[in-house]
Structure 1
Amino acid sequence: MKLITQDKEFFPSRMEEKLSFVYKLGFDGFEIDGRLLIEKLAEVKAAVRSTGLPVTSACGGYRGWIGDFSQDKRKQAIEDIGEILKALSKIGGKGIVVPAAWGMFSKRLPPMVPPRTDSEDTAVLLDSLESLNKIAAETDTFIYLEPLNRYEDHMLNTLQSAAELIEMGGFSNVRLTADAFHMNIEEADLRKSIVQNKEYIAHVHIADSNRYQPGQAHLDFDYFFSALSEIDYSGNVVFECRVTGDDPIESYRESCCFIRSIVGNADI
Structure 2
Amino acid sequence: MHNPFFLMIPHWALLPMVALATLATVIASQAVISGAFSVTQQAARLGYVPRLRVIHTSTEERGQIYTPFVNWVLLAAVVALVIGFRSSARLAAAYGLADIGTIAVSTLLFFALMWARGQWPRWRILIVGALFLTLVLAFVVANTVKIAEGGWLPVTIAIVLFSLLTTWRRGRQLRDERRSELEGDLKEFVVGLRDGASTVQRVPGCAVFLSRGEGRAPLAMRANVEHNHALHESTVLLTLETTSSPRSDPDERISVADLGFSDDGISHVTARLGYL
State the TM-score, normalizing by the size of structure 1: 0.19
Q: Structure with the greater relative contact order (CA < 8 A, sep ≥ 6): 1 or 2?
A: 1
State the TM-score, normalizing by the size of structure 2: 0.19
